[in-house]
Structure 1
Amino acid sequence: MEFVTRSDRPDLREMAAVVFKERWPEFIFHDEVPKKYMDRVEQHFRHFDIMVLDGGSVVAGGWGVPIPWDGTAEDLPSGYDGALVRAVEAHEAAVPATTLAFMAAAVGASHDKRGLATAVLQELTRRARNAGLAHIVAPLRPTWKHRYPMVPMDEYTTWTRSDGLSIDPWIRTHQRMGARVLGTAPRSMVIEGTVAEWESWTGMIFPVTREYVVPDALNLVRIDRELDRGTYVEENLWVQH
């Protein structure tokens, strides 16, 4: 198993994109904030964008962004979108970063149960420590929350198994690494589109104005037929390692 950055191996970017896309719903890729900032994230923070190679193939990967953070819950970004904005704007304003925010980790569907997600997070942590960053945080997108889209995140995080760990596999991964919950990120991602776009992204039909349960959405999606607008505000969970 070998760790490389995407900038080290640009020839593997397409293979890595497949690994990252297969676990995410289509609508996630239509958040406007990453569209505005990802080119600069890739330019500024290449050291924290890694792939795991096994036999020359990409089997997992993950990335993070360094942000200034004073260590209090009140100073956390709004979530995923907020962390991207803060990382880029702080870097370009020469504001020193204190913290690495894990933004995503993905494992190829045929490589589950190998501990690869944990390995990715550990490697990113090692790189953060070597870079002198004092804190590690993450705006988690819990794996099973989409099964309970009408349950608030703060309630969902209290649901535990008999061993005291979360019922959620992704939260458990972080708990086993020593992470603790800091609080919810109520507006972690905001995704908007026309009704036709939402129908294309989800394979559903939205005939009337109302909130809908959408596969793989952690919260309800609001469809307004009169305004021809669909809006999804995703709530995530901040944890600290």
Structure 2
Amino acid sequence: MLKSSVSEESREISYSTWRSYVLNNGSEELIRLEEECWSPWLSAPAESLLGRAEIFPEGQICAHSEQGLLASLSVNRIHWDGRAETLPTWDQVAGDPSTCERTFSADGNTLCLLSMNVRKEVRGRRLSGTLVRSLLNHARQVGAEHVIGSFRPSAYGEAVLSAVERGCAPPEFADYCFGRDSAGTLIDPWLRTISKMGMKPVVVDHEAMSRHVTAKEFEDLRRDSWRAIDLAGRTAWWCNETGFFYQQEGGMFRYVESNLWGTLAV
């Protein structure tokens, strides 16, 4: 999918599949990077990561250097008829378990980006752009018709909390995703970045990710910074994420977040 290495800021960055990297270095760094980039209730377990590397090795790519693992890209291959109304949720693409073993199609016409992880200290070095280009190159090589992703706006939760603290109505999800500043630039950092790579929005993925936890698990997860806020007439727990927790009958809590389905030109 990629050239084996490229020099960046005088430091050589190499690219390989997860499977190759794990065979040579073990799985600890891959798991640690996932845990660094995702909250505990959203982080894929080790068995899911290693399962994806076996189910679709060409779709799981990582960047690494003498510093160790720097970034990772996770992709699934599925069938999609190109219509917005038939797009699944992120959870449905990943499957249950989220190894993609029940959703991967070897002759699928669509490559779907599942996640992009970049170590904090190397963000801003355009590794995400290189990995996306590798995905598009692979799509062309295998004759895929579509490259899609359920993209999560990285600062939506912050925008909601900021509005509530100012006594304003929280922004609607779709309005926020398409919101632009005075210069005409998308206001969300990740949507702005992926749009510069050619992402064209398709439709909101209203329940992209959904997780249920018990009351005890919720209390164990909850941090002092979390806030109970009114969101569209419901009490929601702001948790410094794209989505929010809602209390359910029987004491359970459900986390749910929306994402934005978009396409990348092959």
Q: TM-score, normalised by structure 2?
A: 0.78
Q: Which residue of 2 aligns with 1:236?
A: 259
Superposition pairs of residues 8-157 of structure 1, within 5 angstroms: 8-10=20-22, 11-29=25-43, 40-55=51-66, 57-77=68-88, 79-85=89-95, 88-91=101-104, 96-149=107-160, 150-157=170-177
Instruction: Work out whether residues 207 and 257 of structure 2, in 8 Å CA contact, stay in contact via their aligned partners in 1.
Output: yes
| Structure 2: distance between partners of 1:141 and 1:43 | 26
1:101 aligned partner, one-letter code: C
Instruction: Work out whether residues 201 and 262 of structure 2, in 8 Å CA contact, stay in contact via their aligned partners in 1.
Output: yes
| Structure 1: distance between partners of 2:147 and 2:182 | 28
Q: 1:168 to 1:49 in 2, by over 3 A?
A: same
> Residue 153 of structure 2 aligns to a residue in which SS?
coil
2:29 aligned partner, one-letter code: M
| Structure 2: distance between partners of 1:195 and 1:121 | 39
Q: Give, in angstroms, the shift of residue 109 of structure 1.
A: 0.7
> Residue 82 of structure 1 aligns to a residue in which SS?
helix
Say which structure, 1 or 2, has more relative contact order (CA 8 Å, 6+ apart): 1
Q: Give, in angstroms, the shift of residue 47 of structure 1.
A: 0.9
1:198 to 204, 218, 224: 218
Q: Give, in angstroms, the shift of residue 120 of structure 1.
A: 1.4
Instruction: Work out whether residues 6 and 12 of structure 1, in 8 Å CA contact, stay in contact via their aligned partners in 2.
Output: no
> Residue 157 of structure 1 aligns to a residue in which SS?
helix
Deviation readout 1:7-60 (Å, 9 max, x if unpaired): 112124211222222122222138xxx899766533221111111012261111
Q: Give, in angstroms, the shift of residue 200 of structure 1.
A: 1.2
The answer on 1:3 being equivalent to 2:46 is no
2:244 aligned partner, one-letter code: L
| Structure 2: distance between partners of 1:194 and 1:158 | 34
Q: Give, in angstroms, the shift of residue 163 of structure 1.
A: 3.2
The answer on 1:217 being equivalent to 2:227 is no
**Structure 2 residues not aligned, in runs of 5+:** 1-12, 161-169, 229-233
Instruction: Work out whether residues 245 and 254 of structure 2, in 8 Å CA contact, stay in contact via their aligned partners in 1.
Output: yes
**Pairwise CA RMSD:** 2.6
Moved more, 41-50 or 96-105: 41-50
Moved more, 191-200 or 127-136: 127-136
Instruction: Work out whether residues 93 and 103 of structure 2, in 8 Å CA contact, stay in contact via their aligned partners in 1.
Output: no
> Residue 43 of structure 1 aligns to a residue in which SS?
helix
> Residue 171 of structure 1 aligns to a residue in which SS?
helix
| Structure 1: distance between partners of 2:91 and 2:155 | 21
| Structure 1: distance between partners of 2:34 and 2:136 | 20
Aligned residues: 232
Superposition pairs of residues 166-185 of structure 1, within 5 angstroms: 166-185=186-205
> Residue 250 of structure 2 aligns to a residue in which SS?
coil
Q: TM-score, normalised by structure 1?
A: 0.85
| Structure 1: distance between partners of 2:130 and 2:56 | 19
| Structure 2: distance between partners of 1:27 and 1:90 | 22
| Structure 1: distance between partners of 2:262 and 2:114 | 12
Quote the sequence identity (%): 23
Larger Rg: 2
**Structure 1 residues not aligned, in runs of 5+:** none
| Structure 2: distance between partners of 1:187 and 1:62 | 22
| Structure 1: distance between partners of 2:63 and 2:46 | 25
